[in-house]
Amino acid sequence: MSFCRASLFDFPLKPFVFSHRSCIFLPRSFVSRTYEGVSPVISLPKSTQIIAKSSSVSVQPVSEDAREEYQSKDVSGDSIRRRFLEFFASRGHKVLPSASLVPEDPTVLLTIAGMLQFKPVFLGKVPRQVPCATTAQRCIRTNDLENVGKTARHHTFFEMLGNFSFGDYFKKEAIRWAWELSTNEFGLPANRVWVSVYEDDDEAFEIWKNEVGVPVERIKRMGEADNFWTSGPTGPCGPCSELYYDFHPERGSDDDVDLGDDTRFIEFYNLVFMQYNKTEDGVLEPLKQKNIDTGLGLERIAQILQKVPNNYETDLIYPIIAKISELANVSYDSANHQAKTSLKVIADHLRAVVYLISDGVLPSNIGRGYVVRRLIRRAVRKGKSLGINGDGKGNLKGAFLPTVAERVIELSTYIDSDVKLKATRIIEEIRQEELHFKKTLERGEKVLDQKLHDALAAADKSETRPCLSGKDAFLLYDTYGFPVEITTEVAEERGVSVDMNGFEVEMENQRRQSQAAHNVVKLTVEDDADITKNIADTEFLGYDSLSARAVVKSLLVGGKPVIRVSEGSEVEILLDRTPFYAESGGQIADQGYLYVNSDGNQENAVVEVSDVQKSLKRFVHKGTVKSGSLEVGKEVEAAVDADLRQRAKVHHTATHLLQSALKKVVGEETSQAGSLVAFDRLRFDFNFNRSLHDGELEEIERLINRWIGKATSLETKVLPLADAKQAGAIAMFGEKYDDEVRVVEVPGVSMELCGGTHVGNTAEIRAFKIISEQGIASGIRRIEAVAGEAFIAYINSRDSQMTRLCSILKVKAEDVTNRVENLQEELRAARKEASDLRSQAAVYRASVISNKAFTVGTSQKIRVLVESMDDTDADSLKNAAEHLLSTLEDPAAVVLGSCPDKDKVSLVAAFSPGVVSLGVQAGKFIGPIAKLCGGGGGGKPNFAQAGGRKPENLSGALEKAREDLVATLNEKLG
């Protein structure tokens, strides 16, 4: 969690408000400041008077002259975002950057709300570092995916503008500022703004009525479902107040006005008054610290201010739609409803995909990666329905989504400036995923054809109307990306209906799972009995010392506090200070010992520390009492294993060198996706879409070893976060940084934000060797390497293995490769000879059983043979079937089975052209037979292979094959 510390402010953090359009109350020091997360920085007109003041004033009505001035202001999406942040910055709020779409919170798959990054503060897990903050938070929600593009305001990706108070101000200020922002800053006509309050929240009602001056008829009391926010069954909660914009005030303000009527109203601002803690028995207890959590939808306020009919036609999204329309060769304005919906879906989904990939989420079949994959697939399907063919740049087989993504990236400047730096990787990931999915779509067409054939066959047997099941329609939709409307259209052409009720049941099941996974923020107020609550942060001494005297502040056994532990106990120890590095930033924890010297009746004690973890800023030492006993309050000598620490330092610095070398060799767009710094090796995961060539790996090693050989001294300094980034320091994706950060630099080579331990000079690394490079996920590669002592151990182990190999092969080391290649060639020849002999034996056995063939039919006689060939392997079984088919001559049908292993069945069906012409296909025939043996398979109409896992069923399966084949041929022959 990264917050600006209160000490960085040189002015009192109290509410500041506009009192007049030409007079802004600001602390004097603020004007000369920039603040993080807003670009461009605040720019105030010269005529504006700056007054240092912290008292609030009453809300003033907006004159017509003032309204015209406000409405003439820039209402672009970027301007609205900037004006919102400036508004609250001028009122003492710290402007904080948007958190990643990948939340630190393990209970939530993606960042779904602006308050998520402040959850630990609301829970009391970490102290507030600013009294109040404001953000423009990027969010992703997928629980209403099917509504995207169909309604005016549903999105997967959206921005939530928010102001937050952590025990500083409460309802009065939140309400008044929301009104000022809406009617003064954004110039909304006061008579068009309605508000809702919780039915029992008289305080909020009175503020809106008496202090703000909203007429009673435009203040609606609403129930718990609409206006009471809860984080779950227990935890922080409180009433809400929401602001609505009225598009049709001419409809009046009768008592029966429904704010949920989205043809008239749009909710654009939600104020949550977090004032209670809900206990397990449902009691609402007042919170010690009352908080404010608000959210104003950027896309929604842009729709209002830009006076367009829906969010999609604002300047935040419409330029993307225009690019898609160009690719589809359609006009958005004249397009029908279905085409417009498709254009909106693609634009919305590409916004989400671009920002998710920028934040390190790549397409996959699980978790967040599946969200990206699903959004890309929906966009590809919609593009197909629009008739988009090719990339719009002359390549008819190319991907079109990268062209759309380029437009999204162009618009990203003030949303996330990092997106443009990652453009190459983002576009390539989208391109690969789209091309891969197009192949999947082609397979889906084949699956649909088979499903329709099966539905027709089943209906023919049961003499009912053919119908494709809802489960099959959903399979085509979810697995193969086949739109249900296309499934329905194709099915109707074939005379098959689709069970849409069954399809909707499957869809609803998925929606429930999606909502459970994506749209819940779990909050729980910390138990006052939290065992670490009153323990101060641990002072870390490990950068400068490997040993230190420390005092035991707490002992835990099995997660429960104890006063004393004795020999043999597994214990967790909290010290007031420590030289032990706790696992973080990819580096594993130090190991070592805690020693207690004898003191009166207290005997010597030794605790072996095997792991150290961090809980917030408290270090938890996990270990075993090897001798003696340990008590809370005792002083210990904490000693880190120096050899293991050195190994970790070597590998951590080598990891920094590796990242720099990768950027030089394969491109600056490469970025870290994870790492492990261990005692015996290092592991580095990075974003890249192909394997590295041998030459590239050699160049990376050469660069790193050259840097090591230069014996460069490292420089470590602590800087403000903004200064460190401006200096070019690389930040690790997903890591949370404080306002002051530690920068580790290898001058001329590498500069990174890093809290890990490092060597003092690159010469300490001694040598570096890559031991493997492989792909671990779509677009993610992994390099494992060794350095220092681990490098020596690796080389010695390899040398020992080579010595033994030379002894076995009876050759010199330089001749090992040739000797192994010769042995491989000899082995291949021997295997081929054995295979040929098996095939010859199978053909001979086939010749022996050919006389068991029998005839089916009278006017047209078909030779049929269904037999077992004992333990013949699959390839030989295939050769035997082909031999028999040629021996029996056309028309003929052969089905053979065997058990090549104790738990394996092989089946083959070979039908001559005369049999296939009757409509009898080998591929469709063999599948049901294989199922009887616990397997499956298929193939072409004239030849198919299958397998199974139940040899005991082979005899019965072949008997069934004989019966079915005879019955089918007789039926076809009439």
Q: Is 754 annotated as a binding residue?
A: yes
| CA distances for 360 relative to 620, 685, 835, angstroms | 30, 12, 49
Contact criterion met (CB below 8 Å) for 201 and 272: no
Q: Give the H/E segment covering residue 485.
A: helix 484-493
Token pair in block for residue 557:
């056994």
| CA distances for 36 relative to 118, 295, 569, 657, angstroms | 17, 20, 49, 29
What secondary structure does DSSP assign to 571-603, as a single string? Answer: EEEEESEESPPPSBTTBPPP-EEEEE--BTTBP
Q: Enumerate residues 6+ apart whose C-beta is below 8 A from 381.
A: 441, 481, 482, 483
Nearest-angstrom CA–CA distance, 244 and 264: 10
Token pair in block for residue 143:
């629980």
Burial class (CB in 10 A: 0-12, 13-18, 19+), 791: buried
Phi, psi of 249 (to 5 degrees): -65, -20
Neighbour count for residue 205 (Cβ, 10 Å): 20
Name the CA radius of gyration of the chain, rounded: 35
Q: How far is CA 782 from the centre of its chain?
A: 18
Token pair in block for residue 948:
């199974």
Helix locations, 209-297, DSSP H: 224-227
Length of the chain: 974
Which residues is 768 bridged to in the sheet? 787
Return the sign of the alpha-carbon dihedral for residues 441, 444, 449, 455: negative
Place of tokens 């983002």: 426
Phi, psi of 456 (to 5 degrees): -65, -40
Q: Is 93 annotated as a binding residue?
A: no
Provide the pairing of β-strand 592-596 with 635-640: antiparallel
Contact criterion met (CB below 8 Å) for 916 and 867: no
The amino acid at 657: L
Token pair in block for residue 310:
């829906």
Contact criterion met (CB below 8 Å) for 359 and 102: yes
What's the CA dihedral at 832, 837, 842, 845 to 10 degrees?
180
Token pair in block for residue 67:
């309204």
Counts for the chain of helices (H) and strands (E), in that order: 25, 38
| CA distances for 724 relative to 5, 521, 574, angstroms | 17, 33, 32
Nearest-angstrom CA–CA distance, 411 and 391: 20
Nearest-angstrom CA–CA distance, 384 and 364: 22
Q: DSSP label at 251?
A: G
Token pair in block for residue 25:
């109350």
Give one word for 234, left, alpha or beta, with left for phi > 0 and alpha for psi -120 to 50.
Answer: beta
If we measure between CA atoms, which residue out of 508, 683, 676, 646 comes closest to residue 586? 676
Nearest-angstrom CA–CA distance, 86 and 35: 10
If we measure between CA atoms, which residue out of 146, 166, 150, 116 comes closest to residue 6? 166
Token pair in block for residue 524:
């729980």
Place of tokens 């949550």: 272
If we measure between CA atoms, which residue out of 94, 10, 91 comes closest to residue 56? 91
Q: DSSP label at 132?
A: E
Phi, psi of 31 (to 5 degrees): -60, -35
Q: Which residues are known binding-site members for Zn(2+)?
A: 652, 656, 754, 758
Q: Which residues are known binding-site members?
A: 652, 656, 754, 758
